[in-house]
Structure 1
Amino acid sequence: MKTSIITKLKELLNRHEELESLLSNSNIFSNQKLFSNLSREYSKLTSITDYFRKWQKINQDIENLKQLSKDNELQDIAQIELCESYKNIEILEHKIQMLLLPQDPDDERNCFIEIRAATGGDEAAIFAGDLFRMYMRYAEICNWDVKIINANDSEHGGYKEIVIRINSHNAYGRLKFESGGHRVQRIPDTESQGRIHTSTCTVAVIPEIAENAILQINPNDLKIDSFRSSGAGGQHVNTTDSAIRITHIPTGITVECQHERSQHKNKARALTILASRIESLQKAKRHATEANLRRNLLGTGDRSDRIRTYNFPQGRITDHRINLTVYRLDEILNGRLEYLIDPVLHEYKAEQLTTLSEQN
């Protein structure tokens, strides 16, 4: 392990011991907010410091075994134990490096998924419906709470646009690499010649921001319209102007919400989505202007990035970012998204490890 990483680990170990002392202080305990913050920091450091202590012990054992290996009578036993120790220390170093990777603070947040039909007309809208059901079934498998925020139905099935909110710890962390262009290749039901058509949808996964960030939006920058809700929802939905459309004038971002029964609730939800989209846009701009920014293996997350192709005739899905092809189309569309999400997250962490090694 590199000297710079060992130095950092020693600093973290000292901090962990300092926190342990602070948390036993009665004055700290009486300040619940401070105690809570220090407890969270202590909890985060516990795993990595435990691994580092084990690493230190095995490293010392290796030095002792090297000395024993010089003894002719103990040489064979020492070599066997040395080999085992090297394997254990390699495993520990990998675990330590994984824990040292920078964490995206957004990963633990709830998120919104926006699915829009792009090229392909009715077939694109039908595919948007397929993607919506795929994410809903994955959410059911994960026991996530999901709510439809806004839906614009297509006349021939599916959706021109649908927005859902997922309320669960680490939902954004699991789904953030779903953002981008999703392409489908299949024979539409209306195709009499049996020709394969190609259509596309765009998916945007946006972390939900904290409520206090909503207050930072200047009300003068907003254009708010109310209109009559459409679709299922009963007499109340169909006869009152409860739906809300909010446009953020400086950015041109528009958000609609019509699935709550009251105009007040729709407005509150629309403001939450708007604030989240504005923050996401600003974050993307900051990343784009970083000096010497190299293009990430997983793309930018823009809707223009084609990330995946769903080929129905061959029953396969290809993720173009990591050159992964999986012949489990039906399973994945029925919610088994881990076959795609896990390899992408693995590649992401591998790239982070490479960057960490280059920096140290």
Structure 2
Amino acid sequence: MSVTYQDPPWIARLVEMAAQGAALAERMNQPDVAANGALMVKLAREHGALEKLLKPFREYREATRQLNETAEILADPASDAELRELAEAELPELERRRNELLDELQAKLVTGDEAAVTSVIMEIRAGTGGEEAALFAGDLLGMYRAYAARHKFKLEVLSLSASDLGGVREAILNIKGDEVYMGLRFEAGGHRVQRVPTTET
């Protein structure tokens, strides 16, 4: 009996997105788009966002195709013995890879709305502790600057209130970039530190 590896129902959404990606790629090749820089940038961004899902989707489709071909070989009594042995050896790895891709695609679809957020506002405020708290808030600002640079995010300081010793009493930041919310969504609440205060050294 032949085993067929079927797509789960939610894969239909990715099929639609693949069609959207193909339509965008075709649109970008049109002369009127090539002559319109702003429109080309807009379409390229949309296509790039889709491609983050479509690349693993294509890998999933290929893994499923290989799995079904392997299953057909094993189900065919007339298959060559050496070919059957090879198919039996390959089947577990193909199944593992397909399942990995399914998990990845499902996770990307579930977090799609969050991943689409490309701009966040962050506030840093010094807590109780006077100048030492302000210096620590300044360290946090430096840390987020480095994080933004490492991930190629754009960080803009909207408001900054400095302390007498160069710390930060309050800073309001606008951080922009692809999937920026995904990277910073858990950065909330109070931060505490125990160390020898800079104000006492």
* Residues 1:84 and 2:84 aligned together: no
Q: Which residue of 2 aligns with 1:163?
A: 171
Give the direction of change, closer, same or farther, for the CA distance of 1:60–1:111 in structure 2 (3 Å limit). Answer: same
Kindly indicate which of the two structures has a greater share of residues assigned to strand: 1
* Residues 1:49 and 2:54 aligned together: yes
The TM-score, its normalising length taken from structure 1, stands at 0.42
Q: Is the 8 A contact 1:22 1:28 kept in 2?
A: yes
| Aligned counterpart for 1:132 among listed residues 128, 133, 138 | 138
* Residues 1:38 and 2:47 aligned together: no
Kindly report structure 1 stretches of 4+ aligned residues shifted beyond 4 Å: 144-148, 157-160, 184-190
Distance 1:8 1:43 in 2: 17
* Residues 1:23 and 2:28 aligned together: yes
C-alpha displacement of 1:57 = 2.1
- Cα deviation 1:49-101 (Å, max 9, x = unaligned): 23222212221221121121234714322111111111221222233234322
Q: Is the 8 A contact 2:114 2:179 kept in 1?
A: no
C-alpha displacement of 1:166 = 6.0
- Cα deviation 1:96-123 (Å, max 9, x = unaligned): 23432224378433644331324xxxx3
Give the direction of change, closer, same or farther, for the CA distance of 1:131–1:150 in structure 2 (3 Å limit). Answer: closer
Q: Is the 8 A contact 1:107 1:171 kept in 2?
A: yes
C-alpha displacement of 1:46 = 2.2
Distance 1:86 1:4 in 2: 18
Q: Which residue of 1 aligns with 2:189?
A: 180
Which aligned pairs between 1:161-240 and structure 2 lie closer than 5 A?
161-165=169-173, 169=177, 173=181, 174-184=183-193
Distance 1:42 1:171 in 2: 15
Kindly indicate which of the two structures has a greater share of residues assigned to helix: 2
What are the ranges of 5 or more consecutive residues in structure 1 without an aligned counterpart?
A: 191-360
* Residues 1:149 and 2:159 aligned together: yes
Q: Is the 8 A contact 2:158 2:174 kept in 1?
A: no
* % same residue: 20
Give the direction of change, closer, same or farther, for the CA distance of 1:89–1:9 in structure 2 (3 Å limit). Answer: same
Give the direction of change, closer, same or farther, for the CA distance of 1:15–1:133 in structure 2 (3 Å limit). Answer: same
Q: Which residue of 1 aligns with 2:105?
A: 96
User: Residue type of the partner of 2:10?
Assistant: I
Which aligned pairs between 1:237-316 and structure 2 lie closer than 5 A?
none
Q: Which residue of 2 aligns with 1:263?
A: none
Give the direction of change, closer, same or farther, for the CA distance of 1:90–1:108 in structure 2 (3 Å limit). Answer: same
Q: Which residue of 1 aligns with 2:124?
A: 114
Q: Which residue of 1 aligns with 2:18?
A: 13
Distance 2:179 2:115 in 1: 12
SS of equivalent residue, structure 2 residue 191: strand
- Cα deviation 1:260-305 (Å, max 9, x = unaligned): xxxxxxxxxxxxxxxxxxxxxxxxxxxxxxxxxxxxxxxxxxxxxx
Q: Is the 8 A contact 2:161 2:169 kept in 1?
A: yes
Q: Is the 8 A contact 2:21 2:50 kept in 1?
A: yes
Q: Which residue of 1 aligns with 2:3?
A: none
Which aligned pairs between 1:314-329 and structure 2 lie closer than 5 A?
none
SS of equivalent residue, structure 1 residue 180: coil
User: Residue type of the partner of 1:126?
Assistant: E
Distance 1:169 1:2 in 2: 33
* Residues 1:3 and 2:3 aligned together: no
CA root-mean-square deviation = 3.7
User: Residue type of the partner of 1:47?
Assistant: K
User: Residue type of the partner of 2:169?
Assistant: E
Distance 2:117 2:142 in 1: 19
Distance 1:131 1:84 in 2: 49
- Cα deviation 1:119-163 (Å, max 9, x = unaligned): xxxx36523421321331452465376758332537xx6868221
Give the direction of change, closer, same or farther, for the CA distance of 1:182–1:31 in structure 2 (3 Å limit). Answer: same
What are the ranges of 5 or more consecutive residues in structure 2 without an aligned counterpart?
A: 1-5
Count matched residues: 184
Give the direction of change, closer, same or farther, for the CA distance of 1:170–1:134 in structure 2 (3 Å limit). Answer: farther
Distance 1:25 1:78 in 2: 45
- Greater relative CO, 1 or 2 (CA 8 Å, sep 6+): 2
Deviating more after overlay: 21-30 vs 36-45: 21-30
